[in-house]
Amino acid sequence: MPVGPDDIHRLIEQLQPVRNRFHDDKATVIAIYGSVNPKHDARITAYSKAINILNSVQLSFTFISKHLLHGQWWEAVARNPIPDPDKQIYANEFANFTKIAFVQGIFLAIESSLRLFLRALDSAACKSGMAEFKSIYECLFKSKLSAIPSDGIALLDLLRLVRNTIHNNGVYFNPSGNDASITWNGETFVFKQGAPVDFVTWEFIIRVSEALRQLLLEVVEDTNLKGISVEINDPFSR
């Protein structure tokens, strides 16, 4: 789908409030865990990693808006004249590259943090936090936290399957050969074997990012994680 100035402006407006709420939540969590180093404790660096991803996506949007969609920029950087249709193709491809990076980045930020939380609560669980990700969040949510986060398992099931399609250029493949469906937030998302996943729009990803923000806050405010008074070291921050 071609990207234009209006599209990018709309996406920036949709993403900015999510980024701002991540910042606000980070400040709230820093206040909760006032005895630990906010630069290194995983309950806080989870926000730092997510915010870094959101910042990078915003910079990509700005680059598209200010440069890739303007002929003058292409004239300044290109060695040879580039036809206008090709400029649009390059802008579309860069936007798609950014979308893939967004999915990968926000997924990894959440996954790495949840693994650290599980190790802190039970160092032996799920192969010391190194088992497949689904077993990590199911174990954490169902047996290690004081309450199961609302819709958290369905949300991460959905994001995990979306992320896995990246390995096949957006096409869903299951080793079992079966289709899959995930119901989240009252909506059912279908993954058909051998078919492209067509619902991963920018709006979908931004909506998932907001849901991940809510999930993360629910997790880090859980009584059991609050009960860990020492620093939960995040090696990523060192």
Listed by start position, the domains of the chain span 5-237
Residue 180's Cβ-count burial label (10 Å; 0-12, 13-18, 19+) is middle
SS3 assignment for the chain: CCCCHHHHHHHHHHHHHHHHHHHHHHHHHHHHCCCCCCCCEHHHHHHHHHHHHHHHHHHHHHHHHHHHCCHHHHHHHCCCCCCHHHHHHHHHHHHHHHHHHHHHHHHHHHHHHHHHHHHHHCCCHHHHHCCCHHHHHHHHHHHHCCCCCCCHHHHHHHHHHHHHHHHHCCECCCCCCCCEEEEECCEEEEECCCCECCCCCHHHHHHHHHHHHHHHHHHHCCHHHHCCCCCCECHHHC
Mean pLDDT of 216-224: 98
Kindly give, in sequence order, each residue whose CB lies less than 8 Å from that of residue 149, ignoring residues fewer than 6 positions away: 141, 215, 218, 219
Tens-digit pLDDT profile for residues 34-74: 999 999 999 999 999 999 999 999 999 999 999 999 999 99
Q: What is the average pLDDT value for the chain, to the nearest integer?
A: 96
What local confidence, expressed as pLDDT, does residue 2 receive? 73
Is the pLDDT score of 82 beyond 70? Answer: yes
Percentage of residues in the chain having pLDDT higher than 70: 100
Q: Is 176 exposed, middle or buried (0-12, 13-18, 19+ CB in 10 A)?
A: exposed
Question: pLDDT confidence of 1, banded at 50, 70, 90?
Answer: low
pLDDT tens by residue, 104-148: 999 999 999 999 999 999 999 999 999 999 999 999 999 999 999
Confidence of residue 214 (pLDDT cuts 50, 70, 90): very high
Task: Decide if 225 contacts 31 (C-beta within 8 A).
Answer: no
Residue 3 pLDDT greater than 90, yes or no: no
pLDDT score of 238 more than 90: no
Over residues 139-168, mean pLDDT:
96
